[in-house]
Structure 1
C-alpha cells in the first residue's frame, strides 16, 4: 500500500494544500504473516491520507492500458473505501468489447450480397476517447498502450463535429448526414445514420448505418428530411449487440446424406494445429519443418477467435488453461467436427463452422495432392499451402503449429486478396515466422459456388482466400530462367507489387550486409531504382503518393499506390536520358513488370533515412517529389475545448490528409 508523492511527481496541490499536510509518499509492505495487524497498521499510517480532499468517494472506470504479459488491454474499475484506501478489479477490454468488434463482421455476412449498405459499431468514453472501432487493431494484438484517439479523427462524416457534440451531450438519439466516398476513383453518395446510447455516464455505444443514395434529386437535405430518414431507419436498427444467432443467413456447405456419410466424416485425415499437445499420443508422424512442429501426413486445422461464439473466452482459455485442459478442448472440437451422429454438443463454435470446415477440407485435399505431386515444376519451391475462410477457419499443408493469437484476417495476404478480389496478388517480402527465411505469399479469392458459374466481382462476396508461400528470390530465378533478355549486360528486369515493394530484382542474388541491402526484405522501388522512381511520378495514371494518419502512435505515414487497372505500357517521360525503361501491369494481378536499359543510373536521388523510417523533410509533401515510404511525427493536437477559429481550421485541414478506414 502506498500514498502519492505529490512533490516528486509535480502534482498540483494548490486547490486543497494546507501546511499541516505531508506531501511526501509513504509505502507500507504487507505480507501473509502480518494479517492480524494489517488493518491496525494501515489505519495508523494512512488514516490522515485517505480523507477528503485526497480521495473521491466514488467508483471510477479508468482508460485501458496494455498489460505486458497478455498483450491485452486492461480496464481498471476502482472504488474508494475510507479510511483504508482503494479497492479495484481489472477487466479485459477484449471481453467487454467482443460483441462490438464482431458486430461489423456479423452484419457484413448477413448482407453478403448487398455492397451498397453496411453497418458497424464503436464504443467511446464520455469525453470522446475511442475504445473500440473498426479502424483499430484488435485489443489483444498490441505491444504497448496506444495514445488516446478522439472519435472525431476516425469518422469522416460531414459535420461530424456537431454530431459528436450531440453524442456526448445527449443520453440517446440518432442523426443522419450525407457523405461522399471515393470508390474506384468515383465519388458516390451515401446517407449515414448514427444511433447511440449512453451507458451509466461512462461509455457511449453507437451503431452506424451507411446506405448508398441515388444521384437523382438534390444533394442537400433539410433538417426535416434528415429527421424523417433517421426515424425510419431507427426502427430497423435495434440498439442491441447480441451474440451470433444460431439462425444465420450465411451460406453453408451441405453434405449429402448417403450410405457413406458416416465413413466420410470418420475417415477425414484432419488434425488440429496443436501438435505440441500430442507428444506420446499421436506423435509418431510428427517432424520438424524448418522451425515448426509439423506433419507431412495430414492437413492441420486452425480456428481463430472469430470462429467461436465468444472470441475472448477462446483466447483467455488458451492463455490460462493447463495443457491437459487445452488437450480436452482440442479433442472436443475435433470430435464435434467429425461427428456423424449429431449427438455431440457444440463446444462453443459458431453454427456455420462445421459445414465450413467440411467445404474447405475438400478444397484442401486437391491442394495437398498438388503439393505431393513429384512431377510439378514448383515442388521444390512451394513452402506451404493454405486456405482461410472469412469466418476464421484456416487449413494448412504441411500441417504445422500456429500461435493461438494468430488471426488470418489481419494478415497482409488476406487483406490484399480481399482488396483486389478476383485477382492473383502477391505480398511484399517478409520474414517467415515458421523459420523458412524471407518469403513472398501469393493469394487469390474464392467466391461462393453457383450453378450457372457466373460471377461478378462487384456483386459477389468472397468466402475464402487460398494462398501459398514461395522463397524470397523465386521470382527473380523464374525471370532468369525464362527471359534471356534479362541476362544481358546493362539490362535490369524487376517485378514489384502495387505499393512499390520489390519482389524480383538483380540485387536479390547479393547477400545482405551492413553496407548493401540492409533494408531487406522491405526493399522499395525508391531504394533501388532512384531514376526510375523519379520519372514514373510524372505518370499520373500509374502511381499516386498518399498519406494517412495513425493516431494510435501519432505518426503520419507516406506511401505509394500503383494503378492496378493500367492497360498500357509506359515509357520515359523525360526523353534523352541514359536510362530507358518500360513498365506494364501483369493482367489479373497486382504485379508490375519493368525492364531497364541502363548505361549509368547517376543523376537521380530519392531521400531516404538510413537509420529509421522518419521522412527527411516532414514539412513538405509533393506528388512530384521522390522519397522512400516513411513516417513523420504527428504535430501536437490542440485540446478540443479550444474554440478559437485557428484551432478549428487546423483540425479540419489535418483531417483532410487522413486516409479514412
Structure 2
C-alpha cells in the first residue's frame, strides 16, 4: 500500500498534535488504472521523485515480497535515453504540470501520445499512453437481435443449488446439469451443456468490494441477472452507478454463439482438450466445459493472453505449466481475435495503405498481417481489408502436454524412418550411442517441447516450466547467439526481484495444498492471522533475456551448423514454424560427452553462459564495487534517493529544570532498587 499523511497542528496553540493519513492499497490503484484502457493503451503513476508506483511492466502488488523500490519512470519508458523526448514528459510530471506530448517512435516502436496530469497537490502524477491506432475508441455493442442468444451462466456453478438461487431462479440448476468428479475432471464441478462466464475484478465498478465479498450466492445471482438482463447498460457513471463496466454484457452476448461450436466440434484429439476459452480485453472470460475460476483470475494478465497480444498475427503455443483448475500439465494454444474495422476512405489508404480498414489481398499487405473478409454485412462487407491493430480478445485451448508432445513427435517421423526424433543409431564414426534430439522453442528461447518433459515429475515445475534452450543445449544456444546472431541478448536490473533463502525443492505431495479454484478461494478467505512460511525474499536481480531475430535465418529460412563441446556433439537445424511463435531445433548424431570426472564442470559453465533468467546481485547495493565494470550508480541505473529535510531542534533547560530532571532520574534508580531488592519505597528518599 501507499500512505498519504499530513501533520495536524492545534488551531489554538499552534503546536503539533499528530498525523492523519489515508492508506490505499496498490491493488486498488492498479484496478482503477487498468479499467480505463483499451487497445494498446496503458497507464502509469509516479511520485514527485519520478518513482514508479504503478506500471504494467512492473510486478503486480500481489507478487511483491518487500516494500517496493520505486525505480524512475525513465527506466521503463526509455532505452539508454531513447526516445529523448520522454525526458520532457518526465520533467513536466515531476513539476506537477498537465499536458500532452506526441512521440513519433516510443520505446515499443509505436507512435504514441502521452496525456499527463498531477494529483494530490503535485505529490503524484499519472499518465495515459495512447498509440495512434488507439485514438479511435470503439466499444462492443449489444446485439439488436437477441432471439438466438440464450442465457449464459456464471462460473460459480455450486451456487445455483443454493437456497437463494433456487428461490430466485427455479429450475436453472437442473437445466445446467452440473456434474462432479467426472473421470476427465476428478475433484472438479463442471457442465458439458454450457460454457460459463467469469467476470474478474477489473470488470466491476468496485473491484475491491467484489474481491472481499464472500457472499457467493448473492454474487452469482447479481452476475446472472445482469449478463442475461435487458436493463440499459449505463456502466460506472457516478450519477447512475451500476455494478459492471459499460460493455461487459455486450461481450458476454457477442461470444455466446461460439458455445455451440465448442459443444458440437469433433476431431481426433478432442479427448485431450481440457478447456477451450476466450478472454476479452474487458476481462470477460468464457470457458468450456463450464467450471469455476479463482476469485481474482484475470485473463488479460495471463501469460497466454500477453504472449498472443504481443504477436497477434501468429498462433501462440505456451510452455508447459500446471493448470490453475487442477487438471494437470498442459500447453495453451491461442490466437488473437481482432477488432473489426470499417473501410477507410481512398485518401486515407493512399497516405497509409497498410492501415486497418484499407483494401488488401494477402496478410502481408497489412501492418498487423491479417487480411480478412467481414461477414457482418452492410458497409463492412465491401471486399477484403486489413484488420485493425487492436486485439479485441484471445481465444485458446488447453491440451494435456503428454498428448501434445506425442502428436508432435509422431508428425515429425523421417520419411525413410531413419534418424527420426528419439531414434538410436550408430554415430558417423561407427560407434553406437547417437540419437536425434528434437525440440520446439519460442521467441524467448524457452522450450515448449523437450523429450525430457514427458518423464519430468509433475510436482517439480523447475523440470518443465520456463526451461531455456541454453540450459539444455548450451553449445547450440552459444552458436545461435554468437555465430549466427539469431538471438539478441538483453540485460537489465530488477529492483523488485524475488530470491530464495535456500535452493528450490520440488513438492513431495500436493496433499493439504490448494489445487483447484475452490480450494484457492477458501484458502484465501480462511488462511488466518499467521502467515505462511515463505522461502523467498525481495532482492535486486540481474535479468538476462533473449529474443529471436528472424532475419538471421537468411534466404533459406534455416540455420544449420555442427557443434562439439563439453556437453555434446552433433549437427543441428533450426527453422521457424510458419505463422506460429515456435522454432524447430533438430540435432542429428547427438552424442553426450563422457567425462572421467564425476561432474562435468565445463559443460555446466557452457550452459550457464547462455542461460536466461534472473540472478541475485551479490552484495547487490548501488555502492557495490565491481572490478570489470562500473557500479549501478555510476551507470545511473539506481532508483532515485529522496532527500528528506529533517527539522533539527533540541530541548534546553534552566537550573530549576535541571534539578527536576535529576530528581526524576534518582527516583527511577530507587524504584529499580526497590523492585530488585524488595526494599520499601519509603526508605529511599532522593
Any idea what the Cα deviations from partners look like across 1:271-330, whole Å, max 9, x if unmatched?
Answer: 10122423444276231324433222221101122323x2xx2343331x342xx42232
Q: Cα distance 1:128–1:606, how it changes in 2: closer, same or farther (>3 A)?
A: farther
1:650 aligns with 2:634: yes
Q: CA deviation at 1:202?
A: 2.8
Distance 1:466 1:366 in 2: 13
Aligned to 1:598: 589
Residues 561-570 or 598-607, more deviating: 598-607
Distance 2:193 2:202 in 1: 27
Aligned to 2:665: none
Match of 1:585 among 559, 576, 585: 576
Aligned to 2:401: 472
Match of 1:158 among 77, 84, 103: 84
Match of 1:552 among 487, 490, 496: 496
Q: CA deviation at 1:569?
A: 1.8
Aligned to 2:272: 381
Match of 1:332 among 222, 245, 248: 222
- TM-score normalised by length of structure 1: 0.65
1:199 aligns with 2:92: no
Write out aligned runs for 1:192-231 (5 A): 195-197=116-118, 199-207=120-128
Q: CA deviation at 1:455?
A: 4.8
Match of 2:3 among 61, 75, 79: 75
Aligned to 2:549: 563
SS at match of 2:263: helix
Q: Cα distance 1:256–1:151, how it changes in 2: closer, same or farther (>3 A)?
A: closer
Contact 1:580 1:598 in 2 (8 A): yes
Aligned to 1:636: 621
Q: CA deviation at 1:138?
A: 4.1
1:297 aligns with 2:193: yes
1:525 aligns with 2:469: yes
SS at match of 2:384: coil
Match of 2:153 among 264, 271, 285: 271
Write out aligned runs for 1:364-403 (5 A): 364-370=259-265, 373=266, 376-403=267-294
SS at match of 1:400: coil
Q: Cα distance 1:330–1:347, how it changes in 2: closer, same or farther (>3 A)?
A: farther
Residues 352-361 or 527-536, more deviating: 527-536
Q: CA deviation at 1:544?
A: 1.8
Aligned to 2:455: 510
Aligned to 1:52: none
Q: CA deviation at 1:120?
A: 4.7
Distance 2:51 2:86 in 1: 15
Any idea what the Cα deviations from partners look like across 1:455-507, whole Å, max 9, x if unmatched?
Answer: 536x4322111101112222321134333322531122222222222222222
Any idea what the Cα deviations from partners look like across 1:602-652, whole Å, max 9, x if unmatched?
Answer: 399887699xxxx96xxxxxxxx533434343953379xxxxxx9998345
- Tell me the matched-pair count: 497
RMSD of aligned Cα (Å): 4.0
Any idea what the Cα deviations from partners look like across 1:154-183, whole Å, max 9, x if unmatched?
Answer: 331416566545543x34354858674466
Aligned to 2:648: none
Residues 356-365 or 596-605, more deviating: 596-605
Q: CA deviation at 1:211?
A: 6.1
Contact 1:384 1:398 in 2 (8 A): yes
Write out aligned runs for 1:42-441 (5 A): 73=1, 75=3, 77=5, 88-96=21-29, 98-103=31-36, 105-106=37-38, 108=39, 120-140=42-62, 142=64, 144-156=66-78, 157-158=83-84, 164-168=90-94, 170-174=95-99, 180-181=105-106, 195-197=116-118, 199-207=120-128, 249-257=137-145, 261=146, 264-265=148-149, 267-268=150-151, 270-280=152-162, 281=166, 282=173, 285-288=178-181, 289-308=185-204, 310=205, 313-319=206-212, 321-323=213-215, 326-340=216-230, 347-370=242-265, 373=266, 376-441=267-332
Say which one has the larger Rg.
Answer: 2
Distance 1:518 1:336 in 2: 43
Q: CA deviation at 1:393?
A: 0.8
Contact 1:124 1:203 in 2 (8 A): yes
SS at match of 2:270: coil
Any idea what the Cα deviations from partners look like across 1:358-414, whole Å, max 9, x if unmatched?
Answer: 1112123212322xx3xx211221111101111111101111111121111111100
Contact 1:530 1:605 in 2 (8 A): no
Contact 1:429 1:439 in 2 (8 A): yes
Contact 1:441 1:470 in 2 (8 A): yes
Contact 2:114 2:127 in 1 (8 A): no
SS at match of 2:308: helix
Aligned to 2:389: 460
Aligned to 1:243: none
Q: CA deviation at 1:453?
A: 6.4
- TM-score normalised by length of structure 2: 0.63
Q: Cα distance 1:454–1:606, how it changes in 2: closer, same or farther (>3 A)?
A: farther
Q: Cα distance 1:462–1:151, how it changes in 2: closer, same or farther (>3 A)?
A: closer
Distance 1:285 1:121 in 2: 41
Distance 1:605 1:562 in 2: 28
Q: Cα distance 1:456–1:629, how it changes in 2: closer, same or farther (>3 A)?
A: farther
Q: CA deviation at 1:131?
A: 1.7
Structure 2: gaps spanning 5 or more residues: 10-14, 167-172, 235-239, 341-373, 375-380, 414-419, 425-434, 498-539, 595-599, 625-629, 640-686
Contact 2:443 2:582 in 1 (8 A): yes
Distance 1:355 1:415 in 2: 23
Contact 2:71 2:638 in 1 (8 A): no
Contact 2:97 2:118 in 1 (8 A): yes
Distance 1:322 1:398 in 2: 25
Aligned to 2:421: 486
Q: Cα distance 1:593–1:199, how it changes in 2: closer, same or farther (>3 A)?
A: same
Any idea what the Cα deviations from partners look like across 1:45-78, whole Å, max 9, x if unmatched?
Answer: xxxxxxxxxxxxxxxxxxxxxxxxxxxx353646
Q: Cα distance 1:316–1:609, how it changes in 2: closer, same or farther (>3 A)?
A: farther
SS at match of 2:272: coil
SS at match of 1:200: coil
Contact 1:253 1:358 in 2 (8 A): no
Distance 1:555 1:649 in 2: 15
Q: Cα distance 1:144–1:436, how it changes in 2: closer, same or farther (>3 A)?
A: farther
Q: Cα distance 1:477–1:448, how it changes in 2: closer, same or farther (>3 A)?
A: same
Contact 2:201 2:210 in 1 (8 A): no
SS at match of 2:634: helix
